[in-house]
Structure 1
Amino acid sequence: MTDPRTALLARPSARGWRTAPAPELLDFHRSIPGYAPTRLVDLPSLARELGVARVWLKEESSRYGLPAFKMLGATHAVARALSARVGVTDRPLPFDELTERIEQSGVLELVAATDGNHGRAVAHCAALVGLPARVFVPQGVSEQAIEGIRSEGAEVTVLDRPYDDVVVHAAEQAAADGSLLVQDTSWDGYEQIPAWIVEGYASVLSEAVAQLHDAGADAPSLVTAPTGVGAFAEAVVRFVRSGGFARGLGSSDSPAPQVLTVEPEAAPCLLTSLRADRSVTVETGGTIMAGLNCGTVAASSWPVLRAGVDLSAMVSDDATAQAVRDLAALGVDSGPCGASSLAAVRLLAAQGQLPAEGNLLLISTEGRAANPLPADF
């Protein structure tokens, strides 16, 4: 059992960090077949439990028909990469136009490594433009998640290696002419596609702002960011630190929300790195939070997370499984990665670190169909 005193890191220095606004991509995402905004759910019973004014949850259980948010990043990155191949470098072309020009791009297949949801999103994008996809996954990814990737028409290879090594293997496989690697983690020399993925993820926050505005709600005082390699957490930090909530809700006098990242105890690469004040690779273990089971923070995300994360937490599988069940009882479809947000704010509440009049925005990044609880949970 992890000592609760080491499961949470507060970083007051992050409050003063600012960055420029990211591109607004909701119009692009609306242009893709199957677009619909995901639910923003008001959870008053959780607000009472946690001792805060309001708890909102953004439920990413059905995004373009897939049970996670990952399509927002994959669609933008694939569209930008293919658009660049046909000479359009300043914007993503619509997918119907890319389909017509796919031969001109010279791309013959999409390749990705994944611990679940990202690979399915890449496979779905490949199908949208009429390309095959090859996806590599580590051992420990649920059979249901693997079958989900295959259902998009992708070739799936399971490797008996940790996630970080599977990423290396996928990059090697994509070195051939005609292969396009679409990866949500970055390293020296591979930064552009991960950056486009991060930009795409910001549409989760843009939607949430519009929904809060329509509900007449105040800006959140804390936003959660389930964290694997750090791409989604980077998107949250950039949105918050560029004043995204203040712009959308007309609350320029309100302080920016705190950003709370959350990782499994089996793979706390960001928390470990923040404590060391340098990027650290950790050895990973088994966890029900398969999509967060990553040993290294993406190289391009690390400087942003180091500068802008207010609170970093790691949560146990038991606490997260309970959060899955509790959210289900409230009518919320959340898998373990998504429910980790609730487990993390409960950790804060237990340590007296939630503001009494605060408004919380929990981001649930996947539904149960993406990653069901194992039978022994």
Structure 2
Amino acid sequence: MASSMIHLNPMARGYTYKPAPGETGKATDESIVLAFHQSLPSYNETTLHTLPAVAVALGLSHVLVKDESNRFGLPAFKILGASWAAYRAVLTALGLDDKQQATAATTLMSVAELGSIARDRGLRIVTSTEGNCGRAVARMAKYLGLPVRVFVPEYMSEATRQKIRGEGAEVLVVKGTYEDTIPIIRKEAKEMKESVLVLDVGLDGYEVVPKLQYFVEGYSSMLAESDKQVPELTGGNAATHAVVPCGAGSIAQAVAQHYKAAERQAQHGSAMVIAVEATTAASLKTSLGAGQPTLVPTADTIMNGMNCGSLSTLAWPVLSQGVDASVVVSDQESHSAVEELKSSGILAGPCGAATLAALRRVCADPRARSALALGSEAIVVLHCTEGARDYLIPS
């Protein structure tokens, strides 16, 4: 361990991600999913910014920021996973998710056609959220023309609830935390046969959507775009490091799978993956230290999208082997990173800016820096997963 704020995971250096039996190869998955996203209304390829001054200050070759502040008109990356997951979940509910549709982009049913069939069957979508994911699922339900119920914890702000309602969703407030919403939506999905449950985490008793990695596969479009963009900014070189927020773990799992995939390593060599969490919700760092998934108590943080006390049961096997370092940062560090990115014209929220804070932390620690090969040839991609939003500035 380099410091109390950093956990190094040396075993990840030799890790190669290989799809489990029954999964298709990731390169094929990425092309299929990207084609799906390109078919949706208002598809846009998000910007990859360069931070030359930060790279010079930290002694790195390039520091790049994949900016997810405007994805399909929403201020976060979640719509990528939510749209693909909801699409595939509805296909499955209708008995239409056969092998041909799963392996060839040309055979994917259009969203309009799928929505028409689903409406005739009276289907509706049910989900639970702490923020961006619920809004993203609601947006996909709107694309499909299906009703959607979104269960939220009572601490969610009214402004956030209104944004979800603005997508046409019915919002139901549950007393307690996010975890308290889970048994309620499970019961509804079980009792109401027309309800299609869509969640972005793997839970005991609910693993159908995550097991097939629908959310994780959905995030691959962001990574496919980035792989194309990075060489354009670096003289033809690929990324050597990726920094990604880790809440429940799905986006970090997607990044680890992508950068540790056998095909990518054969073409570009291995890349380091650094996950960042809030000091108040360090479930991955704690779990890596314990060698097993570990539930941790959480507290309020401006990085509320990362305020998760447990990891997805399906993300853990990849994270435990594929994440090279887990870093925790404070609210103050995240806020400072928000301001730093703003000065460079990048409007980030605290979760997205936390990646820059994490990079600064590991570069300031000689042992971590050496172990992670953060030298003059390093090309680092920061995955800025959310745009600017209101939050209480830490004192």
Tell me the TM-score normalised to structure 1 length.
0.92
Distance in 2, matches of 1:376 and 1:344, equals: 18
Matches within 5 A, 1:109-148: 109-148=124-163
Asked if 1:190 is matched to 2:203, the reply is: no
Give the match's secondary structure for 2:3: helix
- Tell me what 1:153 maps to: 168
Say whether the 8 Å CA contact 2:155–2:177 is kept in structure 1.
no
Shift of 1:189: 3.2
Distance in 2, matches of 1:40 and 1:50, equals: 19
Distance in 2, matches of 1:55 and 1:263, equals: 20
Give the match's secondary structure for 2:75: coil
Shift of 1:82: 1.4
1:244–1:66 Cα change, 3 Å: farther
Letter in 1 for 2:387: G
Distance in 2, matches of 1:218 and 1:31, equals: 29
CA RMSD in angstroms comes to 1.9
- Tell me what 1:15 maps to: 13
Asked if 1:72 is matched to 2:91, the reply is: no
- Tell me what 1:362 maps to: 382
Name the count of aligned residue pairs: 367
- Tell me what 1:311 maps to: 325
1:105–1:17 Cα change, 3 Å: farther
1:155–1:103 Cα change, 3 Å: closer
Give the match's secondary structure for 1:78: helix
Q: Which has the higher mean CA deviation after the structures are superposed, 349-358 or 155-164?
A: 155-164
Give the match's secondary structure for 2:228: helix
> Which blocks of at least 5 consecutive residues in structure 1 are unaligned?
none
1:37–1:192 Cα change, 3 Å: same
Distance in 2, matches of 1:213 and 1:228, equals: 29
- Tell me what 1:228 maps to: 247
Asked if 1:179 is matched to 2:200, the reply is: no
Tell me the TM-score normalised to structure 2 length.
0.88
Q: Which has the higher mean CA deviation after the structures are superposed, 58-67 or 151-160?
A: 151-160
Letter in 1 for 2:221: S
Distance in 2, matches of 1:278 and 1:334, equals: 32
Distance in 2, matches of 1:164 and 1:273, equals: 19
Distance in 2, matches of 1:350 and 1:259, equals: 17
Say whether the 8 Å CA contact 1:209–1:245 is kept in structure 2.
no
Shift of 1:173: 3.1
Give the match's secondary structure for 1:65: coil
Say whether the 8 Å CA contact 2:332–2:394 is kept in structure 1.
no
**1:190-229 deviation per Cα after TM superposition (whole angstroms, max 9, x unaligned):** 2231221111111111010111233334111210110111
- Tell me what 1:99 maps to: 115
- Tell me what 2:286 maps to: 272
Higher helix share: 2
For residue 53 of structure 1, the aligned residue among 61, 65, 69 is 61
For residue 46 of structure 2, the aligned residue among 32, 38, 42 is 38
Shift of 1:180: 1.2
Q: Which has the higher mean CA deviation after the structures are superposed, 190-199 or 340-349?
A: 190-199
Shift of 1:84: 2.2
